[in-house]
Chains A and B, each alone.
Chain A
Amino acid sequence: MHIVYPAVVSALLFSIGVYGVLARRNTILVLMSVELMLNAVNLNLVAFDVWLGDRLHSGQVLTLFVIVIAAAEVGVGLAIVLALYRNRRTVDLDYLRDLAEPADGPTPGNPTVTDQAQTQRHTTDDQPVERDHGDGRPAGRGGKS
């Protein structure tokens, strides 16, 4: 077995994972892409373990450890996503910008502090996109700064 084959497959999988993490908007899809990247690393570990003929099997043991850590990561990540969904009614990463720098101009669909009163009147809406239909106030960061 040429070692180039698993190495190239793993490099392609890693790049696909990078694309998914950067391009996807849903948090669960981002978690799936992280899993793809971890699997690329696993394939590399197994291939190089076979190539080097390690007597301690460090590559395969480390693959098992990575699999376990990936399982723990998915568990905690999904708990975080569910808590987020419970509090925000959305898991779209584009709307979760509270830790971002104050952008120049209003970010579309950003639920901010000033919309709290309006939001509590519209308690049944699932989408926080159009929050500016209360009294004509723009949905930007009105009185934040």
Chain B
Amino acid sequence: MTEAMPSYLSPTGQEIIFLLLGAVAVGSALLVVTTRQLVHAALWLVVTFGALAGCYLVLTAEFVAWVQVLIYVGAVIVLLLFGIMLTRAPIGRSTDLDSGNRPAAVVVALATAAILVTVVIDGFRMAYTPLTPGQGGAAELGGSIFSTWVLPFEALSVLLLAALIGAIVLSRTDITGANGTNQRGDGPNGLSRTDTPGGGSPPDQTGGH
């Protein structure tokens, strides 16, 4: 693992590309959490995920890179954009995207970054591995998943089914609870229906199915 470590002062081409991609990922992630426009946050997240897919490619994890592109850039971003639009978020600049505990968040994040970076550099300063391509292709990963990791794979498929059913149950409005009332709207203090006149079906005003 740690054989004949080259110097940090003469980086290889792979390391330079990785560091550039990592800088893009970190910079766009910073823009995700600091931008004033909701839609731009989602679009900067695309840049972050794309740069991370490039990082996986440099690290010879090709299949993971393409799965990242397919699922994150393809599906998760679209879901988040759907969420932004269905909650009628303001398009354009909005001033109140940060909550009141922003200074505390800055302190906590800086402390986390300092501790993690210090520990990581201290622990893995001498770690080096040459990158040999062909270790993360679909054939190797598929063989590994369907021989060693079959049981977690099946458990994960059941979890996906449960998440699917859960999302459907949460987003449907005509599923009633045991006492005949709306399942989501019958909080103990009746708070949940304060915005709907007469406790009628809530989605009439949103139009968001």
Query: CB within 8 Å of B: which residues of A?
Result: 1-9, 11-20, 22-26, 28-29, 31-33, 35-36, 39, 42-43, 46-47, 49-53, 56-58, 60-61, 63-65, 67-76, 78-83, 85-89, 91-94, 98, 111-113, 115-116, 119-120, 123, 126, 128
Contacts and interface: CB of A to CB of B under 8 A. Distances in A.
Determine the main DSSP class of B at the interface with A. helix
A98 B80 contact: no
Interface of B: 1, 5, 8, 12, 14-15, 18-19, 22, 25-26, 29-30, 32-33, 38, 41-42, 45, 48-49, 52, 55-56, 58-61, 63-64, 67-68, 71-72, 75-76, 79-80, 82-84, 86-89, 96-102, 104-106, 108-110, 112-113, 116-117, 120-121, 124-125, 127-131, 135-136, 140-141, 144-145, 148-149, 152-153, 156, 159-160, 163-164, 166-168, 170-171, 173, 184-185, 187, 189-198, 202-203, 206, 208
B79 A75 contact: yes
B41 A32 contact: yes
A7 B76 contact: no
A95 B156 CA distance: 35
Nearest to B114: A15
